[in-house]
């Protein structure tokens, strides 16, 4: 006898995120107006910058590649009720796998390098996430805490390695050696010059495959069944003979592996080497992407494109409107993350009430719950 009924699915996965986005844009518009700029111009510049031409689209999708991997990493763990906030550190450390493959096979072909780099970075990212997974499963240390802490450890390890181990002789900057030949994952602009300077590269194929993989894993496999059972009701999974500890460790490995694959896009697709902080906080954006995408792989893909557009549009805005500084862009991005991620439930009660009043189908469903016919 609850007062409210859940939203229909389309409203939950489409209408609500769009409303949240509109709300974020309205608040951003007010902030832009407050510093004396025209918010409508700003929105136009961002939209055109992100989708107006192939170069803009190329940048948008390049960012989206990172966000898909990070978002999937968060989403797949969330299906099991686990909150992996360590995608940043898992991706950062996984850069070692990408660069190792890139440097070792620099004389072969990218067709070989790309899949092997995905595997190597996936394994490193996965193992890095497996440690918090083990601690949660066997020792009860909460993954939220441990994955955050592991970001710092990963960062410290990478700074040490880049300064003392990976840095080639005679180089000032803390970075690894460059890959120069086949180790580079080809960017689409090498074939289609319309992409201009956009670093969109073949890694996106694996991002799309990862989306499909996560969908099949979660909703079509026995492991996915066990995972979702644990996520919804850990007591029921114990009852069902599902080993929660094994499920936790497995999904944390998969989650970390997905995060790790993000490194391939950055290290071999764009920078051609490992530099300090190449993940640029994108692992954390994955949390917002997963939230906005409702932890569903297709939702994550859409949300990732949106965030990609936001990043690319933000860069354009910075060029075109000098009054809007880099910090302002961060403010706008933060507003979108806040409204679509952290406060995604803000409009939910109001919307549910609206549906209770206006939705006949909702009423019928509510009645079906309350009134189950006892006669045939």
Specify the residue, 175 or 229, whose C-beta has the smaller distance to other proteins: 229
Closest CA to 334 of 310, 313, 352: 310
> What tokens were used for 31?
């902030």
The angle at the Cα of 31, spanning 301 to 299, to the nearest 5 degrees, equals 10
Q: Rounded to an integer, what distance in angstroms lies between the CA atom of residue 310 and that of residue 332? A: 9
Specify the residue, 193 or 246, whose C-beta has the smaller distance to other proteins: 246
Q: How far is the CB of 136 from other proteins (least distance, A)?
A: 13
The angle at the Cα of 39, spanning 35 to 41, to the nearest 5 degrees, equals 120
Specify the residue, 10 or 191, whose C-beta has the smaller distance to other proteins: 10
Specify the residue, 30 or 240, whose C-beta has the smaller distance to other proteins: 240
- How buried is residue 6: exposed, middle or buried, by Cβ count under 10 Å (0-12/13-18/19+)? middle
Q: Rounded to an integer, what distance in angstroms lies between the CA atom of residue 243 and that of residue 261? A: 27
DSSP 8-state secondary structure symbol assigned to residue 196: T
Q: How far is the CB of 372 from other proteins (least distance, A)?
A: 4
Specify the residue, 91 or 242, whose C-beta has the smaller distance to other proteins: 242
Q: Rounded to an integer, what distance in angstroms lies between the CA atom of residue 20 and that of residue 248? A: 32
Q: Rounded to an integer, what distance in angstroms lies between the CA atom of residue 266 and that of residue 66? A: 8
Q: How far is the CB of 68 from other proteins (least distance, A)?
A: 23
Q: How far is the CB of 366 from other proteins (least distance, A)?
A: 5
Question: Hey, which residues does 275 pair with through a beta bridge?
Answer: 175
Residues forming the site for other proteins (CB under 8 A): 1, 3, 220-226, 228-229, 232-233, 235-236, 238-246, 360-361, 363-375
Q: How far is the CB of 375 from other proteins (least distance, A)?
A: 7
Q: How far is the CB of 301 from other proteins (least distance, A)?
A: 22
Q: Rounded to an integer, what distance in angstroms lies between the CA atom of residue 255 and that of residue 90? A: 9
Specify the residue, 172 or 373, whose C-beta has the smaller distance to other proteins: 373
């Amino acid at each position: 006898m609850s007062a409210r009924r859940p939203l229909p699915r389309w409203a939950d996965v489409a209408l609500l995120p769009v409303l949240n986005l509109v709300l974020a844009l309205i608040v951003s518009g007010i902030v832009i107006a407050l510093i004396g700029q025209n918010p409508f111009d700003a929105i136009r510049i961002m939209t055109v910058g992100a989708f107006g031409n192939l170069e803009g689209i190329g940048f948008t999708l390049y960012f989206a590649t990172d966000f898909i991997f990070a978002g999937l990493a968060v989403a797949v763990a969330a299906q099991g009720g686990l909150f992996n906030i360590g995608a940043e550190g898992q991706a950062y450390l996984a850069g070692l796998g990408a660069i190792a493959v890139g440097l070792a096979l620099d004389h072969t072909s990218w067709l070989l390098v790309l899949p092997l780099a995905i595997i190597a970075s996936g394994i490193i990212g996965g193992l890095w996430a497996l440690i918090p997974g083990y601690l949660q499963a066997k020792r009860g240390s909460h993954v939220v805490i441990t994955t955050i802490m592991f970001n710092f450890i990963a960062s410290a390890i990478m700074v040490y390695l880049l300064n003392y181990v990976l840095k080639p002789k005679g180089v000032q900057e803390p970075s690894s050696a460059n890959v120069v030949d086949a180790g580079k994952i080809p960017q689409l602009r090498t074939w289609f010059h319309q992409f201009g300077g956009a670093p969109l590269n073949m890694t996106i194929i694996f991002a799309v495959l990862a989306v499909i993989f996560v969908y099949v894993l979660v909703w079509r496999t026995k492991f996915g069944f066990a995972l979702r059972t644990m996520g919804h009701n850990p007591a029921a999974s114990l009852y069902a003979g599902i080993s929660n500890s094994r499920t936790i460790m497995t999904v944390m490995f998969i989650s970390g592996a997905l995060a790790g694959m993000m490194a391939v896009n950055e290290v071999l697709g764009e920078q051609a080497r490992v530099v300090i902080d190449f993940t640029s906080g994108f692992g954390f954006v994955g949390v917002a992407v997963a939230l906005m995408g409702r932890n569903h792989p297709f939702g994550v893909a859409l949300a990732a494109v949106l965030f990609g557009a936001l990043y690319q549009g933000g860069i354009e805005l910075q060029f075109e409107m000098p009054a809007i500084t880099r910090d302002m862009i961060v403010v706008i991005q933060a507003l979108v993350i806040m409204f679509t991620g952290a406060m995604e439930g803000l409009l939910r009660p109001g919307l549910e009430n609206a549906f209770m009043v206006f939705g006949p189908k909702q009423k019928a469903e509510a009645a079906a719950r309350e009134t189950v016919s006892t006669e045939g």
